[in-house]
Amino acid sequence: MKFGILVNEGPYQHQAADTAYQFCKAALAKGHRIHRVFFYHDGVHNASKLTEPPQDDRHIVNRWIKLAEEHDIDLVVCVAAGLRRGLVEENLAPRFRISGLGQLIESGIQADRLVVFGD
């Protein structure tokens, strides 16, 4: 099965980002594919290279980067939601790219299921 993933909440203030990441890992381990992860609303904060959690805490941004590198997953940040929150191209972590809502629509069409994490 091919999944599209929508993450609407930022890291560290809501469980949605962690749950989406764990879902992706579990799906991939079972042989499924992740077509794209689209970050929308506060979820765009998952893509910030400025994130520096304490050393004893998980680094959610780095988890997404590693997952994308290992499984060639497209990580897309909504341009409008990013700009509203001050996230611009220069602040993006590696493997993330900025694009429009058309990428979310395309993912919903091309994937077998679109799974939404967060409000």
Out of 5, 61, 75, 78, which one is annotated catalytic? 78
Does the annotation count 24 as an active-site position? no
Contact 32, 3 (CB under 8 A): yes
Alpha-carbon gap, residue 119 to 117, rounded angstroms: 7
Sequence-distant (6+) residues with CB within 8 A of 2 are: 32, 33, 34, 35, 110, 111, 112, 113
Residues recognised as catalytic: 78
